[in-house]
């Protein structure tokens, strides 16, 4: 807890035991961990594994390039970093769309995975006010600019950590970095 996935650890694990799918969490809300998903996805691809990325916390708050990073499937929502109402979103990489649909049957038995990788089985009409809310959240992102938004999230994170430190508290990731001398 409180530490990200190390690239060398993933590489070693995939050399030891092959995997069809590597599931990754980009940013973890409760601990503040931000995983190096771009590097990890490249390692998974080098070992023939598909990648599924949970970007629920990071979407809109951190750089995320599904196609450019070779992520096969990615899911997120709009209520965290994007600042909209709760709505889910999924995406798949144009680089390997066929393979992304050919996820092992064991994974497809999982109800959440079916919803992620297959077209939804249940359709509904979204409330027009919710569509307007998403539109406004995206307009705010566009006005601010993604890089400025990412920088603001980083500044706010650092301010929170400094405020907690002033109270004699620390976050798990800060304690971990301190223990490593970083």
Mean pLDDT of successive 10-residue stretches along the chain, which has 182 residues:
87 95 89 91 95 89 89 83 67 52 41 45 59 79 89 91 90 56 42
* Structural domain contains residue 15: yes
* Structural domain contains residue 2: no
At residue 93, the pLDDT reads 56
As to burial, measured by CB atoms within 10 angstroms (0-12 exposed, 13-18 middle, 19+ buried), residue 90 is middle
Measure the CA–CA gap between 150 and 153, rounded to whole angstroms. Answer: 5
> How many structural domains are present in the chain?
1
Measure the CA–CA gap between 50 and 65, rounded to whole angstroms. Answer: 16
* Structural domain contains residue 125: yes
* Structural domain contains residue 91: yes
At residue 155, the pLDDT reads 94
At residue 126, the pLDDT reads 61
At residue 59, the pLDDT reads 85
DSSP state of 47: T
Place of tokens 């409330």: 127
* Structural domain contains residue 163: yes
At residue 137, the pLDDT reads 80
CB atoms within 10 A of CB 42: 15
* Structural domain contains residue 1: no
Residue 103's domain comprises 7-179
CATH code of the domain containing 26: 3.40.640.10
At residue 168, the pLDDT reads 92
* Structural domain contains residue 141: yes
């Amino acid at each position: 807890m409180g530490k990200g996935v190390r690239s060398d650890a993933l590489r070693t694990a995939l050399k030891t035991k092959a995997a069809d799918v590597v599931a990754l969490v980009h940013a973890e809300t409760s601990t503040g961990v931000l995983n190096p998903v771009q590097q990890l996805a490249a390692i998974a691809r080098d070992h023939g594994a598909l990648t599924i990325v949970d970007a629920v916390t990071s979407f809109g708050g951190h750089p995320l390039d599904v196609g450019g990073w070779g992520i096969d499937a990615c899911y997120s929502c709009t209520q965290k970093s994007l600042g909209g109402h709760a709505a889910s979103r999924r995406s798949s990489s144009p680089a390997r769309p066929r393979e992304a649909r050919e996820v092992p049957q064991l994974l497809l038995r999982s109800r959440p995975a079916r919803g992620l990788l297959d077209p939804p089985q249940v359709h509904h009409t979204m409330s027009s006010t919710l569509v307007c809310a998403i539109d406004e959240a995206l307009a705010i992102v566009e006005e601010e600019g993604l890089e400025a938004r990412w920088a603001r999230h980083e500044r706010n994170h650092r301010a929170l950590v400094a405020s907690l430190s002033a109270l004699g508290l620390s976050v798990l990731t800060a304690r971990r970095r301190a223990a490593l001398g970083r």
